[in-house]
């Protein structure tokens, strides 16, 4: 499945090339200082010996460079977020995931847990200049190798986070669920997990994996709560859009199940219908194959909505990716986008046919939705049997 519009990325990088070149020239001096939002990035390549990077900028307003909730609140567009991520510097060092107590890792962990931006001083080498090849995908952030780093000792940490960090007898799943129930931002929880800050047998977790682990762990707890609720007795439709991603939700009466379908229209005039993933009341035993982290992120938003309305439903989500979303910005986009869409009014229907007609009127590309959806087909089959 094609996931980026390379031409749009190229044009955006080219437009901001002077700013990027200024940053590259600065960090090539070797001795640099700046602020981390705070943010770290753990790679998955060469696991278990991975890269651990601190993301930083010379701008004292660093939090605006890596803060999903802030971006949504301030109504940033895709280009603004892409630029913010592009202008960050990723100064990294290779570490073992099994050594979370290493001095460098400990400093990164404390910085990551900070409530506000943290001053850093670094000596770096091997600066990687951003690629401007129109045939290649541009990786976010300007890269460099850390030779030495000093992180400010003046780090203020949320008491809820500090409690879990120092509780080494608490399982990771319990720590994640505790922080979520105490209203800690999922982005902060996943970063904490990523740098080995939660659990009994602690290790670093690649950033992509930690995000999905948090969404899945919280989701599984909520599924247990949802299964105890009464069945929904009607059909409901709701839709919405955020950052070039459009969401249409179909609530089907009956017991809990969930399905995510994706339609890609990143390049104007080109539409691709992806294979979806789903789970029935009994749940899944294996990781989803087609929709990856988006599945668990949107499922979390759906479960939160079901808990709010006090009923369980079988829910189908159709995510449509438009040309506005020309480059991936992170799984947080779909989680926050789904949450925003689910805040809109749910329209109620007494039969599936009427609900599907309304759902298709909300979609940009409704072709074959009844055929694509396993849960809709299952509902139709059951109705025929009755």
Structure token pair of residue 17: 């090339």
Tokens read off for 149: 């780093």
d(C-alpha 335, C-alpha 215), whole Å: 9
Task: Return the domain boundaries, the chain.
Answer: 6-156, 158-225, 235-385
CB 13 within 8 A of CB 130: yes
CA pair distance 341, 125, nearest whole angstrom: 44
Neighbours of 224 (CB within 10 A): 8
User: Hey, what are 353's tokens?
Assistant: 């046919």
Nearest to 216 by CA among 239, 189, 237: 189
Task: Write out the two tokens for 328.
Answer: 């991936």
| The pLDDT value given to residue 385 | 34
Tell me the C-alpha distance between 56 and 142, whole Å. 10
Query: Is residue 306 within 8 Å of residue 226, measured between CB atoms?
Result: yes
Token digits for 2?
A: 């094609």
| 136 burial type by CB count under 10 A (0-12 exposed, 13-18 middle, 19+ buried) | exposed
- The two tokens of residue 283 are 């749940």
Phi-psi region of 45 (alpha: psi -120 to 50; beta: other; left: phi over 0): beta
Which pLDDT score, from 0 to 100, does residue 137 have? 56
* pLDDT for residue 386: 33
- 32 forms beta bridges with 122
List the pLDDT tens digit at each of the 386 positions of the chain. Answer: 556 787 888 888 889 989 999 999 999 999 999 999 999 999 999 999 999 999 999 988 898 999 998 999 999 999 999 999 999 999 999 999 999 999 989 999 989 999 999 999 999 999 987 666 666 555 567 899 999 999 988 899 999 999 999 999 999 999 999 999 999 999 999 999 999 999 999 999 999 999 999 999 999 999 999 999 999 999 999 999 999 999 999 999 999 999 999 999 987 778 999 999 999 999 998 999 999 999 999 999 999 999 999 999 999 999 999 999 998 899 999 999 999 999 999 999 999 999 999 999 999 999 999 999 999 999 887 654 33
């Amino acid at each position: 499945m094609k996931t980026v519009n390379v031409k749009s990325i190229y044009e955006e990088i080219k437009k901001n090339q002077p700013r990027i070149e200024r940053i590259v020239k600065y960090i090539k001096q070797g001795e640099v200082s700046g602020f981390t939002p705070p943010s770290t990035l753990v790679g998955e390549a060469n696991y278990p010996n991975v890269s651990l990077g601190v993301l930083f900028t010379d701008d004292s307003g660093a939090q605006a460079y890596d803060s999903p909730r802030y971006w949504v609140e301030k109504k940033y567009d895709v280009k603004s977020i892409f630029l913010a991520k592009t202008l960050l510097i990723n100064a990294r060092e290779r570490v073992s995931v099994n050594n979370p107590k290493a001095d460098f890792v400990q400093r990164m962990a404390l910085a990551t847990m900070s409530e506000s931006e943290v001053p850093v001083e670094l000596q770096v080498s091997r600066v990687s200049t951003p690629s401007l090849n129109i045939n290649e995908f541009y990786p976010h952030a300007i890269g460099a190798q850390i030779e030495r780093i000093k992180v400010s000792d003046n780090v203020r940490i949320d008491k809820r986070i500090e409690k879990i960090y120092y509780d080494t007898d608490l399982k990771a799943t319990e720590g994640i669920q505790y922080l979520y129930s105490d209203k800690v931002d999922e982005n902060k929880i996943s970063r904490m997990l990523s740098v080995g800050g939660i659990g009994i047998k602690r290790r670093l977790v690649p950033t992509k994996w930690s995000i999905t682990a948090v969404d899945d762990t919280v989701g599984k707890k909520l599924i247990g709560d949802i299964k105890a609720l009464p069945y929904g007795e009607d059909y409901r439709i709701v839709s919405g859009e955020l950052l070039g991603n459009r969401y249409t939700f179909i609530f089907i009466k009956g017991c809990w199940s969930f399905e995510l379908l994706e339609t890609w229209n990143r390049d104007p005039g080109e539409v691709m219908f992806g294979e979806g993933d789903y789970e029935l009341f009994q749940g899944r035993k294996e990781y989803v194959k087609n929709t990856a982290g988006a599945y668990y992120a949107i499922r979390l938003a759906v479960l939160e909505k079901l808990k709010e309305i006090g009923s369980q439903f079988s829910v189908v989500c159709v995510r449509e990716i438009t040309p506005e979303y020309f480059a991936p910005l992170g799984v947080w986009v779909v989680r926050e986008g789904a949450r925003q869409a689910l805040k809109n009014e749910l329209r109620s229907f007494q039969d599936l046919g009427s609900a599907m007609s309304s759902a298709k009127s909300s979609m940009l590309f409704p072709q074959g939705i009844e055929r694509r959806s396993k849960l809709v087909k299952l509902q139709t089959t059951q109705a025929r049997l009755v």
